[in-house]
Amino acid sequence: AASKLEVFMPAVVEVETGSTARLECSFYIPENGSYTYINWFYVSIDHRNNRVRLCHITVSEILEENTDYKGRLSVGEDKALSISEVTVLDTRTFVCQVGAGSHGEGENSTELRVYTLPGSPLPSPHGGTRCPRLSLPPQIAQCVSRNSFPHPNITWHKNGEKLQPEEKKVKIPTTLTRESSGLYTVSSTLFAHVTREDRNSLFYCTVHYWLQGQSHTVESQRVNVTVFYPAEHVKLQVMPSSALVKEGDDIKLVCEADGNPAPVFSFYKRELEDNWQDLSSLADTNSGVLNLHGVNKSSSGLYRCQTLDLDDMRQMEKDVELVVNYIEGVRVKMEPSSPLQEGDSVRLSCDAHSPVALDYQWRDEKGRKVAEGNQLFLSNLTFETSSNFSCKVIAPSVPGLEQSKQVAVAVQGKPRIVAISSPLYVRQDEVVNLTCKAIAFPRPSVHWNVNGTAHEYVENQHIASNLTVRVNHDLLRAGAMCRVSNALGVSEKHIQLLDQKTPESKGVIIVAIIVCILVVAVLGSVICFLHKKGKIPCGRAGKQDITKPEARKDKIVVEVKSDKLSEEAGLLQGANGEKRSAADQVGQSVVHSP
pLDDT per residue as tens digits for the range 438-457: 998 888 999 999 999 999 99
Cα separation of 201 and 156, whole Å?
Answer: 13
Cα separation of 524 and 521, whole Å?
Answer: 5
- 118 or 369: which leads in pLDDT: 369
Residue-level pLDDT at 38: 94
**DSSP track, 49-109:** --EEEEEEE-SS-EEE-SSTTTTSEEE-TT--EEE-S--GGG-EEEEEEEE-GGG-EEEEE
| Cβ-proximal residues to 160 (8 Å cutoff; 6+ apart), any chain | none
Task: Say if strands 6-8 and 26-28 run parallel, antiparallel, or are unpaired.
Answer: antiparallel
> What's the pLDDT band for 139 if we cut at 50, 70, 90?
confident
Residue-level pLDDT at 592: 33
| Angle formed at CA 537 by CA 534 and CA 540, multiple of 5 degrees | 170
Taking CA atoms, 117 is separated from 114, 121, 147, 185, 473, in Å, by 10, 11, 8, 12, 126
Q: How far is CA 570 from the centre of its chain?
A: 89
Which domains, from first to last, does the chain contain? 6-115 (2.60.40.10), 119-228 (2.60.40.10), 234-322 (2.60.40.10), 328-409 (2.60.40.10), 413-499 (2.60.40.10)
> What's the pLDDT band for 515 if we cut at 50, 70, 90?
confident
Task: Say if strands 170-171 and 184-192 run parallel, antiparallel, or are unpaired.
Answer: antiparallel
**Do 414 and 461 touch, CB atoms closer than 8 A?**
no
Cα separation of 96 and 25, whole Å?
Answer: 6
Maximum mean pLDDT: which of 311-320, 378-387, 560-569: 311-320
> What's the pLDDT band for 332 if we cut at 50, 70, 90?
very high
Regarding pTM above 0.75, the answer is no
**Do 337 and 326 touch, CB atoms closer than 8 A?**
no
Cα separation of 178 and 399, whole Å?
Answer: 75
Cα separation of 211 and 16, whole Å?
Answer: 10
**In a 3-state reduction of DSSP, which class is residue 129?**
strand
Cα separation of 94 and 53, whole Å?
Answer: 10
Residue-level pLDDT at 579: 39
CB atoms within 10 A of CB 178: 12
Nearest of 343, 440, 337 to residue 382 by alpha carbon: 343
Cα separation of 252 and 288, whole Å?
Answer: 10
Maximum mean pLDDT: which of 46-60, 132-146, 351-365, 550-564: 351-365
- 215 or 42: which leads in pLDDT: 42
Cα separation of 9 and 219, whole Å?
Answer: 36
Residue-level pLDDT at 258: 87
> What's the pLDDT band for 554 if we cut at 50, 70, 90?
very low
What average pLDDT does range 175-197 have in this prediction?
87
Phi-psi region of 461 (alpha: psi -120 to 50; beta: other; left: phi over 0): alpha
- 296 or 540: which leads in pLDDT: 296
| Cβ-proximal residues to 127 (8 Å cutoff; 6+ apart), any chain | 226
> What's the pLDDT band for 215 if we cut at 50, 70, 90?
confident
What average pLDDT does range 170-187 have in this prediction?
88
Nearest of 557, 553, 528, 532 to residue 543 by alpha carbon: 553
**Do 407 and 389 touch, CB atoms closer than 8 A?**
yes
One-letter amino acid for residue 590 of the chain: V
Maximum mean pLDDT: which of 426-430, 509-513, 522-526: 426-430
**In a 3-state reduction of DSSP, which class is residue 523?**
helix
Residue-level pLDDT at 593: 31
> What's the pLDDT band for 461 if we cut at 50, 70, 90?
confident
pLDDT, averaged across the chain? 82
> What's the pLDDT band for 490 if we cut at 50, 70, 90?
very high
Task: Say if strands 227-228 and 129-130 run parallel, antiparallel, or are unpaired.
Answer: parallel
Residue-level pLDDT at 524: 81
| Cβ-proximal residues to 355 (8 Å cutoff; 6+ apart), any chain | 323, 325, 326
What average pLDDT does range 457-465 have in this prediction?
87
Cα separation of 138 and 130, whole Å?
Answer: 8
Residue-level pLDDT at 393: 96
Cα separation of 403 and 394, whole Å?
Answer: 7
- 60 or 133: which leads in pLDDT: 60
Phi-psi region of 460 (alpha: psi -120 to 50; beta: other; left: phi over 0): left
Nearest of 421, 406, 420, 415 to residue 462 by alpha carbon: 415
The torsion angles phi and psi of 131, rounded to 5 degrees, stand at -55, 150
What average pLDDT does range 69-98 have in this prediction?
92
The torsion angles phi and psi of 154, rounded to 5 degrees, stand at -125, 135
Taking CA atoms, 575 is separated from 388, 564, 579, 580, 588, in Å, by 78, 14, 9, 10, 9
**DSSP track, 411-462:** EEEEEEEEEE--SEEE-TT-EEEEEEEEEEES--EEEESS-SEEEEEEETTE
- 560 or 216: which leads in pLDDT: 216
What average pLDDT does range 86-97 have in this prediction?
92
Nearest of 290, 115, 308, 128 to residue 212 by alpha carbon: 115
Task: Say if strands 579-580 and 572-573 run parallel, antiparallel, or are unpaired.
Answer: antiparallel
One-letter amino acid for residue 67 of the chain: T
Query: Is the confidence at residue 567, as pLDDT, over 50?
Result: no
CB atoms within 10 A of CB 41: 19
Cα separation of 91 and 75, whole Å?
Answer: 19
What average pLDDT does range 232-259 have in this prediction?
88
- 126 or 285: which leads in pLDDT: 285
**Do 468 and 458 touch, CB atoms closer than 8 A?**
no
> What's the pLDDT band for 39 if we cut at 50, 70, 90?
very high
